[in-house]
Chain A
């Protein structure tokens, strides 16, 4: 007979106090990595020692966008692509808040791409966590700005003819002051990076590669475990790597790590110095 520890009266799940448990199980598909990124984010928030009453989570639209609805703290589920502008508003209105944007690649880099580059340029004091599943999962697996060249999606049945964004490089060029990339397999590094990002000021960007077995995986003959295997085999950790040399190629290799952590005056600091002279 199988011995299960679960027969003993169970304590609560350690993250239950940060979850709207009445909404769990969440809508994410079996094997989807968003839940892992979300869990990493909640662990980092909980262990950071920061005041959770002064923290807010903002999400846009898409599978990852559902996160704001599951967290038991101040959260905001915004319109498509507009998570960063709403978060910017929250931060400007109440600079004491620690604002975290949790959203997907489609929301942050396609429809919301312009907002991303400008928030990075201004060095808005935000932590942006981007779950990159390489396609538009929620709407049925269409090609996104992050879909690898030649990958199959519903809108590129013969393979994607275009080249994708390399997100950390884009963030670097736009002016982000903290940049990391991990996968859902590197949960400990990811949690540590989120912790660092929460505690620093300026625009922090963390990309997390995450499997979408139901849409992207199915069309590219990649089961959830195959995606994790790819992350394991092709992931090369190079902390401090020059962002212009970061690879995002599932054949050659995917560079992972903490790439950048520099200090630069934030948007609010610059504004106060320039416009609030008294």
Chain B
């Protein structure tokens, strides 16, 4: 994340890591999760789902901070995040 001024305690703050999951066939391609993810984790995938929409894909899965914003703004119950098992574990990889 880019800061205009780095907070003094930035190095002490432990940022939660998340794993973002996508249920591709529920997605209707509105793009809300992609647009409003604070860490730009998501992009439209080039492939189609069963309904012919482009679901999102996690292009920067390690950046996910488990904020659940995609989960709550998605009108389709198609995306959600869970806390990564270890905070130093890169997101998207299970131990």
Residues of A within 8 A of B (CB): 2-6, 8, 10-11, 13-16, 19, 24-26, 28-36, 38-40, 43, 184-185, 187-188, 191, 224-225, 228
B: number of interface residues (CB 8 Å): 37
Q: Which B residues from 21 to 37 make CB contacts under 8 A with A?
A: 21-26, 28-32, 35-36
Residues of B within 8 A of A (CB): 19-26, 28-32, 35-36, 43, 45, 51, 53, 57-59, 61, 69, 71-78, 80, 82, 91-92, 94
Q: How far is the CA of A152 from the CA of B1 in the complex (A)?
A: 42
Are the CB atoms of A6 and B24 closer together than 8 Å? yes
Other A-B pairs, 10, CB within 8 Å; known A2-B43, A5-B21, A13-B77: A2-B45, A2-B57, A8-B92, A31-B28, A31-B75, A32-B75, A35-B76, A36-B75, A188-B72, A225-B35
Inter-chain contacts of A225 with B (CB < 8 A) = 31, 35
Question: Secondary structure at chain B's binding surface: helix, strand, loop or mixed?
Answer: mixed
Q: Which of B21, B29, B31, B57 is most buried by chain A, counting CB atoms within 10 A of its CB?
A: B21
Residue of A nearest to B67 (CB): A188
How many inter-chain residue pairs (CB < 8 Å) link A and B? 99
Residue of A nearest to B41 (CB): A5
Q: How far is the CA of A27 from the CA of B26 in the complex (A)?
A: 11
Q: How far is the CA of A10 from the CA of B19 in the complex (A)?
A: 10
Q: How far is the CA of A39 from the CA of B71 in the complex (A)?
A: 9
Q: What are the 5 A-B residue pairs with the smallest beta carbon separation, nearest first?
A: A35-B75, A30-B28, A5-B92, A31-B30, A187-B72
Are the CB atoms of A5 and B77 closer together than 8 Å? no
Residue of A nearest to B46 (CB): A2
Q: How far is the CA of A221 from the CA of B22 in the complex (A)?
A: 31
Are the CB atoms of B61 and A3 closer together than 8 Å? yes
Are the CB atoms of B80 and A3 closer together than 8 Å? no
